């Protein structure tokens, strides 16, 4: 039974047999700016650049968990040469390993965006990225349903993988809008379309008519930063994505508590939810320009009968910086604690 469950897990989570391929995901969607929307590239309300890293391990309680990692960086350019706007440039690298077949995915993207002020209280952004995707599978470790002889996976299989690696070009585009009517309120929303070129990925022969077309994926999000007082800043947010027949909704909020009194040290507490799937408590800490956050997916769906409610652990690190101290007093679009 253990091997059957393992096989089923690989089959549905990897998603690359006869089904439509699905994308990688993080529960901390608000901390994945470039993968959520390329228009976020260089969209930094209170800094000139940022560097971030993400690590996620999912379903560690079953025999074949999978891990997802990413690193990214984005930078504002021409900020002081264009009076009412600026460009952003950045890069993102994903790597994911799944299943006993060690399905490894590596995605590398370069992105660019333009941000245009609309008066003094709002901003419109448009972005585009282009990437290269590579996937590789270790076929020696795979077990298929027709190999089951009643006791073991010892029989032959009719599933023939012609290739153990696939590569393709991937394109994304998006729009963002932000409004900041006062120093205590900031609202941000956007929409993006991924896989504009509908690339194909398949480990089978194309003559079998089962090529896996990566269908366009749409992402919609809205978040806000609301300063209640000099001790607390609230950040509610919602995220919705759909791709082919798959969809996901995440919503919740977190707050930053001013521990040090001057904003240099902040405690981060929050909770998010994927309805029907998981509750996601959050804990983090910000020290000057460094931010660390941790979330844990507590499974609430029927899958909890197999993983004992142990969904996923996710860790995130970020650094925000300024090119030079001469810009340290630059007005922030986003509510901040006063020094």
**Domain ranges, ordered by start, for the chain:** 2-327
Question: How high is the pLDDT of residue 145?
Answer: 63
Q: How far is CA 68 from CA 61, 106, 194, 237, 267, in A?
A: 16, 10, 19, 23, 26
Could you tell me which of 68, 138, 78, 158 has the C-alpha nearest to residue 107?
A: 68
CATH number corresponding to 2-327 = 2.40.160.40
Question: How high is the pLDDT of residue 330?
Answer: 56
The torsion angles phi and psi of 277, rounded to 5 degrees, stand at -130, -55
- What is the full per-residue pLDDT of the chain (339 aa) written as tens digits? 444 334 333 333 333 333 344 567 789 999 999 999 999 999 988 788 999 999 998 766 566 667 889 999 999 988 778 878 899 999 999 988 876 557 788 999 999 999 999 988 899 999 999 999 988 877 666 666 666 666 666 666 666 666 778 889 999 999 999 999 988 999 999 999 999 999 887 776 655 555 678 889 999 999 999 999 999 999 999 999 999 888 899 999 999 999 998 889 999 999 999 998 889 999 999 999 999 999 999 888 766 666 665 678 999 999 998 887 545 455 567 788 776
Predicted model pTM: 0.84
Helices and strands, number each (H, E), in the chain: 3, 16
Question: How high is the pLDDT of residue 66?
Answer: 78
């Amino acid at each position: 039974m253990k091997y059957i469950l393992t096989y089923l897990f690989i089959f549905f989570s990897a998603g690359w047999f006869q089904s439509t391929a699905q994308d990688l995901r993080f529960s901390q969607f608000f901390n994945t700016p470039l993968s959520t929307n390329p228009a976020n590239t260089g969209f930094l309300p209170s800094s000139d650049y940022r560097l971030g890293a993400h690590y996620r391990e999912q379903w560690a309680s079953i025999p074949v968990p999978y891990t997802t990692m990413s690193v990214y960086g984005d930078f504002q350019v021409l900020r002081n040469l264009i009076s009412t706007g600026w460009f952003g440039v950045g890069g993102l690298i994903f790597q994911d390993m799944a299943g006993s077949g060690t399905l490894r995915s590596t995605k590398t993207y370069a992105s660019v965006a333009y941000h245009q002020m609309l008066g003094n209280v709002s901003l419109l952004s448009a972005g585009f990225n282009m990437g290269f995707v590579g996937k590789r599978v270790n076929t020696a470790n795979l077990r298929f349903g027709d190999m089951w002889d009643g006791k073991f996976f010892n029989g032959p299989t009719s599933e023939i993988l012609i290739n153990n690696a696939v590569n393709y070009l991937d394109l994304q585009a998006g729009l963002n809008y932000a409004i900041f009517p006062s120093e205590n309120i900031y609202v941000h929303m956007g929409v993006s379309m991924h896989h504009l070129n509908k690339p194909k990925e398949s480990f089978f022969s194309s003559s079998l008519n089962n090529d896996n077309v990566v269908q366009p994926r749409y992402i919609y999000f809205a978040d806000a930063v609301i300063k209640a007082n000099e001790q607390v800043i609230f950040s509610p947010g919602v995220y919705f994505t759909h791709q082919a027949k798959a969809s996901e909704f995440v919503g919740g909020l977190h707050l930053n508590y001013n521990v040090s009194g001057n904003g240099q040290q902040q405690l981060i507490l929050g909770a998010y939810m994927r309805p029907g799937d998981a509750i996601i408590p959050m804990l983090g800490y910000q020290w000057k320009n460094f931010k660390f956050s941790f979330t844990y997916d507590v499974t609430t769906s029927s899958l909890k009968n197999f993983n004992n409610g142990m969904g996923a652990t996710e860790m995130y690190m970020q650094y925000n910086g300024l090119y030079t101290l001469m810009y340290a007093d630059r007005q922030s679009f986003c509510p901040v604690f006063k020094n």
